[in-house]
Structure 1
Amino acid sequence: MLTIHSLSKQYIEGSWRDGTSENTLIISNPYNKEVLSTIKMATIHDVDQAYKAALAAKEQWDKVNPYQKRTILEKAVHYIEQHEEEITEIIIDELGGTRLKAAFEIGLVKNMIKEAATFPLRMEGKILPSIEDNKENRLYRIPVGVVGVISPFNFPFFLSMKSVAPALGAGNGVVLKPHEETPVTGGTLIAKIFEEAGIPKGLLNVVVADIQEIGDTFVEHPIPRIISFTGSTKVGSHIGQVAIKNFKKPILELGGNSAFIIMDDADIDYAVNAATFSRFTHQGQICMSANRILVHKPIYQKFLKQYKEKVSSLKVGDPRDPETIIGPVVNDRQAANLQSIINKGVEQGASVLLEGKISGNMVEPTILTDVTPQMLIAQEELFGPVVCVIPFETEEEAIAIANDTRFGLSGAIHTSSIERGVEMAKKIHTGMIHVNDITINDEPIVAFGGENQSGIGRLNGQWSLDEFTTMKWISVNYGKRNFPY
């Protein structure tokens, strides 16, 4: 049976073991603070062993028939399906996710692995002509070698798997460092799934470590060729710089400040529901969440009335209750940060349309109005159930407000004129934007990634295959070249 306690070990070289650190990580339930388990932390030595194991096992993986690789990845999906209820319990207990959130995340994970399972059969090359007579140019798609993956706490199962599964499918070894808040859901659970699926021992390693102890070792280590990081823009900037300095390719999926635009010809009932889902799913702890709701002035008051009624109806509480929509944010520190941002917004002139109480890390929904684009609350990523609503008068103003951010991840536009929405979407500087839909979208075969300070690179489908492989040129001269001297 899968439990947090049974998965509270490091997974290195195909074995479950304690880390060699003197420090211990306590895993606790963010809702009721119950201690769930403990993990002995990893050290620099453990990280070194993990990377060496991944490199050695990658040579074994190279010898596995591509069809067999596909079968192994498909077995991982089957294992998840067999243990879906246990995985749901782990998501609820370790990160305070609701049952709705857990089902959503598990579905994303299964689809991602199914897509990655096609990669072994898509390692295609090319034969190209040459300017020289009797010569051909061969291009081989090959794995990069070893990939280091650093994942966040909000959707840890999926956002770890988003890089791990494609990297394995493309033929690489992997070392995964999950966030300390979610070492099981984002780390050791994934190790267990692929262990049961039958990958070579050591191909995937999970190290649970404190950055204060290992520093930049995970990124600087000479073995990994790619570092895939999902998390905050501040940390991502540092990781990207360290990676580049050490001649590694960074893939960065970072923060967002998505705008949800509602035009005066939109279906307001539908827009209210979509805006609510876009902001409050998983307590707003999603990089694609709608931070700013931009509403055309002719419908502004009507929207506010309906939106407040809808958001007020969301049940806050125990994530184990199937009726709960909003559970706890990840920790008290995050709740305190949200309170500080709300207070600053009010100081700068924002009005509280709906005031949510904050007790520990339980944060009830808060809606702020009279917000201007320059306020802190409109500029910062709001990683919690807090949202600001901003009116606009013209289409051009809506676009300008949407672009008034250093981020550029997602967005949404609601209008009865599809092509109007598409033309607006083209002018908004984001990696992704959705017409008459929610801001939270991720599909396994569609390019995913941000612009500006929301990230570098694209994942999913062909884009993941391109990111986790490289092209090698081998030329063959069937004759003899003529030399000038």
Structure 2
Amino acid sequence: MSNVDGDSGLLSSSHWEGLIFDGSWKAANGGSAAVIEPATGVELTRTGMGDAADISIAARSAAEAQAEWVKMPCRERAEIFYRAAEILQKDFESARTWIARETGGLFAKGEHEVREAIVILRRAGSMLLDPNQGLVLPSASGTLSFAKRQPLGVIGVISPFNFPLILSLRAVAPALAVGNAVVLKPDPRTPVSGGFIIARAFEQAGLPKGLLHVIPGGADAGESLCTDPHVRMIAFTGSTAIGRRVGELAGRHLKKVMLELGGKSPLIITEDVDLDIAASNAAWGAWFHQGQICMASGKIIVHESIAQQLIERLVAKATHLPFGNPVDGNVALGPIINRSQLERVDAIVKDSVAAGAVLEAGGEPEGPYYRPTVLSGVKPGMRAYNEEFFGPVASIITFRDDEEAISIANDTEYGLAAAVICRSVSRATAIADRLSAGMVHVNDQTVNDECINPFGGRGASGNGGSIGGPADWDEFCQWQWVTVKDAPHAYPF
């Protein structure tokens, strides 16, 4: 029985209690597992937990369904996505409540996810009617030469807990739209937000059975998805460590791989800025959704002449920002997703302080929460300098001139997002041009994304691919070259 207030008929847990999805609802070979609310420890629902056998069955079924899906007229396929968007819009409140309670995020964060999901669905429908299907190529007289985009077949999607609806659907929707089938393995901590909301919307919208499978599961299910011969591509969003394993397994089986991984995103703040605005940006970039964002401002690189003033403003914010269960009232920060992640954040902070960093504010857990934290005096070699927090920590590093700021920003294995705040746009863009990141923002912080932009990183943040907007055609299709002659001609052999 669901404990989520405002459950609608669409998102009542009676549909999925202990089950997985293959176009209908069925028991999993791997059994079932509880879904726990991070803020309270309350069991919200139970879902099926797939194992390797469930993945194998799903992949074979998806391959069979995909062969029929590509035969459906484009306009009919597009209508399914438009209907799914309408269904999600009607159940907006219930969906945002599931996201808030399952992820420990603010209601505003849940609302953002649902709004973006609706746009993703609408855009997926419009992909079927746009002119990116192929190209006519130069050719000799009497020969028609063209290249057309073709679906890969079955796409395996492995998604994380932090923004589960967006980070699942941004792969699921375009992959389906261009003619693939999908096996989705959402994080078992957020299987409703990351999977079953999507399943229910497409089920009600009339997506043919077998095209979308939603199977929460552990490492065995994920590894099976990476090695199954029916799956031709893996779209993975998650930690760099697991991404390396996904890339290794998928590469060994000659699958295409799209990896969107962790980050240590630098935010450079020059000496000529409005300090209140700069502090607001730094706080948001470091602490929004408890810092559990791959784009979080992991290095706040501040000119030495203003560093103390900025630190004072951040300490004031850290001291006064309320934290607690987002469902209960007006809070700015919610819980960390689970105990092990909370302990990891705390260990990075304590180890860095032991190495010489100064704890200016926070730095301690309180129940499932971690107080918004400010560290100053962060230096190379400290964990706070090198490692992704995935927790609410503002890590302050100072610089003397622009060359040093650029050097500090690029001194990382990651390369996801970066940002520069500076009164001079020409100076800011000159700095931005030299930052090694897949996404760079001038006069903003690092946590920026829209579902219509190509999103991706380099180095330990990804394998050079992008997802979203114009990148979707390239990620979820492959080119086929075709030539047509009126009649065959003779060759010299």
Taking structure 2 as the reference length, the TM-score comes to 0.94
- Structure 2 equivalent of residue 18 of structure 1: 27
- Structure 2 equivalent of residue 237 of structure 1: 244
In 2, Cα distance between equivalents of 1:241 and 1:463: 23
- Structure 2 equivalent of residue 308 of structure 1: 315
Q: Specify the SS of the correspondent of 1:272.
A: helix
- Structure 2 equivalent of residue 148 of structure 1: 156
Post-superposition offset of 1:9:
4.3
- The gaps in structure 2 that reach 5 residues or longer are 1-7
Q: Specify the SS of the correspondent of 2:470.
A: helix
**Is 1:180 the equivalent of 2:188?**
yes
1:98–1:326 contact (8 Å) kept in structure 2: yes
Aligned match for 1:125, one of 126, 134, 137? 134
Q: Specify the SS of the correspondent of 1:121.
A: coil
1:10–1:206 contact (8 Å) kept in structure 2: no
**Is 1:136 the equivalent of 2:152?**
no
2:415–2:459 contact (8 Å) kept in structure 1: yes
- Structure 1 equivalent of residue 4 of structure 2: none
1:9–1:188 contact (8 Å) kept in structure 2: no
In 2, Cα distance between equivalents of 1:176 and 1:436: 37
In 2, Cα distance between equivalents of 1:465 and 1:6: 33
- Structure 2 equivalent of residue 288 of structure 1: 295
Q: Specify the SS of the correspondent of 1:316.
A: coil
Mean CA deviation greater in 269-278 or 156-165: 269-278
Tell me the alpha carbon deviations over residues 85-114 of structure 1, each in whole angstroms, 9 at most, x when there is no partner.
101111122121111211222222222222
In 2, Cα distance between equivalents of 1:175 and 1:407: 28
- The gaps in structure 1 that reach 5 residues or longer are none
Q: Which amino acid aligns with 2:24?
A: S
Post-superposition offset of 1:5:
5.3
Post-superposition offset of 1:129:
3.0
1:134–1:479 contact (8 Å) kept in structure 2: no
Tell me the alpha carbon deviations over residues 270-296 of structure 1, each in whole angstroms, 9 at most, x when there is no partner.
111111111111110000010111111
In 2, Cα distance between equivalents of 1:183 and 1:200: 22
2:355–2:382 contact (8 Å) kept in structure 1: yes
Taking structure 1 as the reference length, the TM-score comes to 0.96
State the identity %. 37
**Is 1:37 the equivalent of 2:36?**
no
Do the aligned partners of residues 362 and 269 (structure 1) sit closer, same or farther apart at CA in structure 2, a change above 3 Å counting?
Answer: same
Tell me the alpha carbon deviations over residues 128-173 of structure 1, each in whole angstroms, 9 at most, x when there is no partner.
2334x52221212111111000000111111001100110111110
Tell me the alpha carbon deviations over residues 440-484 of structure 1, each in whole angstroms, 9 at most, x when there is no partner.
111222211001110021111121111101111121122443422
Map of 1:379-398 to 2, 5 A cutoff? 379-398=386-405
- Structure 2 equivalent of residue 64 of structure 1: 72
In 2, Cα distance between equivalents of 1:142 and 1:243: 20
What is the count of residue pairs matched by the alignment?
A: 482
Map of 1:359-398 to 2, 5 A cutoff? 359-398=366-405
Tell me the alpha carbon deviations over residues 42-73 of structure 1, each in whole angstroms, 9 at most, x when there is no partner.
22221122112212222232122212222211
Q: Specify the SS of the correspondent of 1:73.
A: helix
Do the aligned partners of residues 80 and 437 (structure 1) sit closer, same or farther apart at CA in structure 2, a change above 3 Å counting?
Answer: same
After the TM superposition, which segments of 4 or more aligned residues of structure 1 sit over 3 Å from their partners?
3-13
Post-superposition offset of 1:241:
1.2
Q: Specify the SS of the correspondent of 1:115.
A: helix
Post-superposition offset of 1:356:
3.9
Q: Specify the SS of the correspondent of 1:335.
A: helix
2:18–2:32 contact (8 Å) kept in structure 1: no
Do the aligned partners of residues 8 and 418 (structure 1) sit closer, same or farther apart at CA in structure 2, a change above 3 Å counting?
Answer: farther
In 2, Cα distance between equivalents of 1:338 and 1:5: 36
Map of 1:183-222 to 2, 5 A cutoff? 183-211=191-219, 213-214=220-221, 216-222=223-229
Do the aligned partners of residues 378 and 8 (structure 1) sit closer, same or farther apart at CA in structure 2, a change above 3 Å counting?
Answer: farther
Aligned match for 2:336, one of 313, 318, 329? 329
1:267–1:414 contact (8 Å) kept in structure 2: no
Tell me the alpha carbon deviations over residues 327-365 of structure 1, each in whole angstroms, 9 at most, x when there is no partner.
100101011111111111011100110024313421111
2:37–2:44 contact (8 Å) kept in structure 1: yes
Q: Specify the SS of the correspondent of 1:126.
A: strand
Q: Specify the SS of the correspondent of 1:298.
A: coil
Mean CA deviation greater in 88-97 or 35-44: 35-44
